[in-house]
């Protein structure tokens, strides 16, 4: 079945540094979603990408969907301590099926 992988598993950055997490799927995705889970919290939806090559921005966060729709990335510019948490990507297992989540990238930001 379809697998969603994320790298890196962990990332420690100094406040102010940039951060990028990558999401890769073994199959083509119709769309991809990104979620953030703060420590001790629950996943919260960030964004959805649908089109090939799509790029969306939310303040310091930039999301990109690959041309082949098999990979995606989340880039944070000038990290802040409020960015701490685990970032998950999620995509449909197969067309029309429910989403499967990647293992997540846990971000730590040192002040």
Partner 1 sequence: ETGVTQTPRHLVMGMTNKKSLKCEQHLGHNAMYWYKQSAKKPLELMFVYNFKEQTENNSVPSRFSPECPNSSHLFLHLHTLQPEDSALYLCASSQDVQGLSNTEAFFGQGTRLTVV
Given the rule CB under 8 A, which residues bind partner 1? 30-31, 33, 35, 41-45, 48, 50, 88, 92-104
Minimum distance from residue 15 beta carbon to partner 1 (Å): 26
Question: Is there a contact between 49 and 71 (Cβ–Cβ < 8 Å)?
Answer: no
Of residues 66 and 92, the one with the C-beta less far from partner 1? 92
Of residues 50 and 55, the one with the C-beta less far from partner 1? 50
Of residues 47 and 77, the one with the C-beta less far from partner 1? 47
Question: Is there a contact between 40 and 106 (Cβ–Cβ < 8 Å)?
Answer: no
* Chain-centre distance for alpha carbon 78: 17
Minimum distance from residue 66 beta carbon to partner 1 (Å): 17
Minimum distance from residue 32 beta carbon to partner 1 (Å): 10
Which H or E run contains 11? strand 10-14
- The region, left, alpha or beta by phi > 0 then psi within -120 to 50, assigned to residue 85 is left
Of residues 24 and 48, the one with the C-beta less far from partner 1? 48
């Amino acid at each position: 079945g379809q697998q969603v992988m994320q790298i890196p598993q962990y990332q420690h950055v100094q406040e102010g540094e940039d951060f990028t997490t990558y999401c890769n799927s073994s199959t083509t995705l119709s769309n991809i979603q990104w979620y953030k889970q703060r420590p001790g919290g629950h996943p919260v939806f960030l964004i959805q990408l649908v089109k090939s090559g799509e790029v969306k921005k939310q303040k310091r966060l930039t999301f990109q969907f690959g041309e082949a729709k098999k990979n995606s990335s989340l880039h944070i510019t000038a990290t802040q301590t409020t960015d701490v948490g685990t970032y998950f990507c999620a995509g449909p297992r197969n067309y029309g099926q429910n989403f499967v989540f990647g293992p997540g990238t846990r971000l730590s930001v040192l002040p």
